[in-house]
A and B are shown apart, each in its own frame.
Chain A
Amino acid sequence: MTAPVRPLPQPSAWSAPFWQAARENRLVIQRCNACDEKIMFPRRYCPSCLSDDLGYVAAKGTGEIYTLTTQMAGPPSGFEDLLPYVIAVIRLDEDVQMMSNIIGPGALSARIGDRVQVDFHPVPGTDTVLPVFRLAEED
């Protein structure tokens, strides 16, 4: 029996640029060209004005932890070998939110309000690259 495969994003026509940028180690945010709304996650139409004139802008790649948890047991299929891992909601400095993982030094003791910096994690055996976050270096 082979191990279950972790779920991977299946990009839509409008989200494909986000995942392509991640493969190039860039974090981007969808933006409405009609009303300037910053949109996360990418949508088919602008949720503010329903325009279909949408594009992408570069994100700074920094933000803070809005909330987080360390998964210790009972993960969904495909994540058994990754325990313990940290799931977090990141509020980016552009004031949009996204779910991600906290990785690297200090991840297991990260706290709400900690500053974070984006990094990129290629999922082994796939062409998916996930934007993940590390605790920011102290200034």
Chain B
Amino acid sequence: MRRTTSAVIGIGEVPTGKYPERSELDAAVTASREAILDAGLSPRDIDMVLPVGALASRHFNVDLVFSRLCEELGMNRSAKMNCQIMAGGATSSAVLAVADALIANGQAKRILCVHSDAVGSLPRQAGIDLFATTGVSEEWEAPFGHNMNAVGALASQRYMYETGTTEAELAAVCVSLRKWAMLNPNAMFRTPLTIEDVMGSKLVATPLRAKQCNMLADGAAAFIVADAAEAGSHCEMPAYVRGHGSLVTHYSISQERDLARLGFPEAAREAYAEAGIGPDAIQLASIYDAYPVWPLMSLDGLNLCRGERAGAFVAAGETSPGGSLPMTTNGGMLSQGHTGVGGGIAVMVEAFRQLMGKAGERQVANLVNAVETASGGTWMDSHVTILSREAA
């Protein structure tokens, strides 16, 4: 078990959806301001800014790299470093691991991590083509018509083949997420969804149907990571960073040799050991989705289903409101919306929100420990992070 060195003490988020009139900068500074105020800080208390990658606008991303947020938020000559962290969908876990290490080494005391993007306002075909290049090999995969929905489909097929998971169980993941999203004012999709609605939607890439494919959205979220020693003086219930494990398994999905598991079992073992917290002591799972197969694979790898198959566990309602293991209570990328790199950031910020006791109608009772997962590109890596209301 590792001594705890950092905690999240403030969060901010703007609603996810299609907001063509809201600029990425507007969303970024609004979410950042909320996080700084939530932590009870002023801008000059922040000593580092780690903006994560934005995909829709190269110009905006260059602004993020070149300290625009420091200037906009009043941190000129007080921030020591502005540095972009980018690991695609895995950036949530990755930026938290980097922030935790910077604080552990005494490089920083209070770090602002922020995401903003407007991939939802791209024309539909531009969105498809953008994500057909994120971890898809131009030479060896794109010529065969490969694309992001096919990535989810290829993994679904192999996972179903190896585990016996059914199409209805994949659909149950979407239904569980939607039940949580209906309680989340920041979510894009808040109307009721049934297994039949999912199974009756148009086939996109077998076995995936339209309602099993995420919708691109605009959004922004931010959080403040602080030295664990001072976290309690800023925040009533900080979310302590307890452990992290990860493994890169491929760049192109066609080179993945264990597509039904990826690196989640290894990452989970490492994270649980570092945290000194095992699967039986987890009360909340904030699981990166984007397609329904990934939460199932992650639940298996994290050993969270009490020996049951993840598909059966989710179909029995265990991850829905009222279930024994609330999962991805913001609705995930399938119902809150896929904001690019930020889909994972929102899933992680929701875990912080729950641990900080600020989840409103979605608040999970008797919560102590939570697990967060993420993966980038074509699920190139498997990240597992353990968070807690208690420091070690």
Is A9 touching B143 in the complex (CB atoms < 8 A)?
Answer: yes
Complex: A15 Cα to B139 Cα, angstroms: 9
**Which residues A23-80 have CB closer than 8 A to chain B?**
40-41, 66-77, 79
Is B203 touching A72 in the complex (CB atoms < 8 A)?
Answer: yes
Instruction: Write the residues of chain B forming the contact surface with A, with a CB cutoff of 8 angstroms.
Output: 125, 128-129, 132, 137-147, 149-150, 153-158, 161, 202-208, 210, 213, 252-255, 257, 259
**Which residues A68-108 have CB closer than 8 A to chain B?**
68-77, 79, 82, 85, 87, 89, 97-101
Nearest B residue (CB) for A101: B144
Instruction: Write the residues of chain A forming the contact surface with B, with a CB cutoff of 8 angstroms.
Output: 6-12, 15, 40-41, 66-77, 79, 82, 85, 87, 89, 97-101, 112-113, 123, 128, 130
Given contacts A71-B204, A130-B144, 5 further A-B contacts (CB under 8 A): A7-B138, A12-B139, A69-B154, A76-B146, A89-B154
Nearest A residue (CB) for B142: A7
Residues of B with C-beta under 8 A to A99: 137, 140-141, 144, 146, 252-254
Complex: A23 Cα to B100 Cα, angstroms: 52
Complex: A113 Cα to B157 Cα, angstroms: 12
Complex: A10 Cα to B149 Cα, angstroms: 24
Q: Can you name 27 A-B residue pairings with CB atoms under 8 Å? A: A9-B140, A41-B137, A41-B139, A41-B140, A66-B259, A67-B155, A69-B153, A69-B154, A69-B157, A69-B205, A69-B206, A70-B205, A71-B204, A74-B128, A74-B149, A76-B128, A76-B129, A82-B145, A97-B255, A98-B140, A99-B144, A99-B252, A99-B253, A99-B254, A112-B158, A112-B161, A128-B143
Is A67 touching B158 in the complex (CB atoms < 8 A)?
Answer: yes
Choose among B128, B139, B203, B254 the residue that contacts A11 (Cβ–Cβ < 8 A).
B139
Complex: A100 Cα to B139 Cα, angstroms: 12
Complex: A66 Cα to B142 Cα, angstroms: 18
Residues of B with C-beta under 8 A to A85: 145
Is A10 touching B138 in the complex (CB atoms < 8 A)?
Answer: yes
Assuming the contacts A67-B154, A89-B253, asked whether A72 and B144 have C-beta atoms less than 8 A apart, the reply is no
What's the least CB distance linking B159 to chain A, in Å?
Answer: 9
Is B143 touching A6 in the complex (CB atoms < 8 A)?
Answer: yes
Nearest A residue (CB) for B162: A112
Residues of A with C-beta under 8 A to B252: 41, 99
Residues of B with C-beta under 8 A to A100: 144
Residues of A with C-beta under 8 A to B140: 9, 41, 98-99
Residues of B with C-beta under 8 A to A79: 145
Nearest A residue (CB) for B155: A67
Residues of A with C-beta under 8 A to B203: 72-73
Residues of B with C-beta under 8 A to A12: 139
Is A112 touching B146 in the complex (CB atoms < 8 A)?
Answer: no
What's the least CB distance linking B361 to chain A, in Å?
Answer: 34
Choose among B137, B205, B254 the residue that contacts A89 (Cβ–Cβ < 8 A).
B254
Is B129 touching A77 in the complex (CB atoms < 8 A)?
Answer: yes
Choose among B141, B143, B145, B257 the residue that contacts A75 (Cβ–Cβ < 8 A).
B145
Residues of A with C-beta under 8 A to B144: 87, 99-101, 130
Is A72 touching B206 in the complex (CB atoms < 8 A)?
Answer: yes
Residues of A with C-beta under 8 A to B137: 41, 99
Residues of B with C-beta under 8 A to A123: 143
Nearest A residue (CB) for B145: A79
Complex: A76 Cα to B149 Cα, angstroms: 10
Choose among A77, A87, A98, A130 the residue that contacts B154 (Cβ–Cβ < 8 A).
A87
What's the least CB distance linking A80 to chain B, in Å?
Answer: 9
Assuming the contacts A67-B154, A82-B145, asked whether A72 and B205 have C-beta atoms less than 8 A apart, the reply is yes
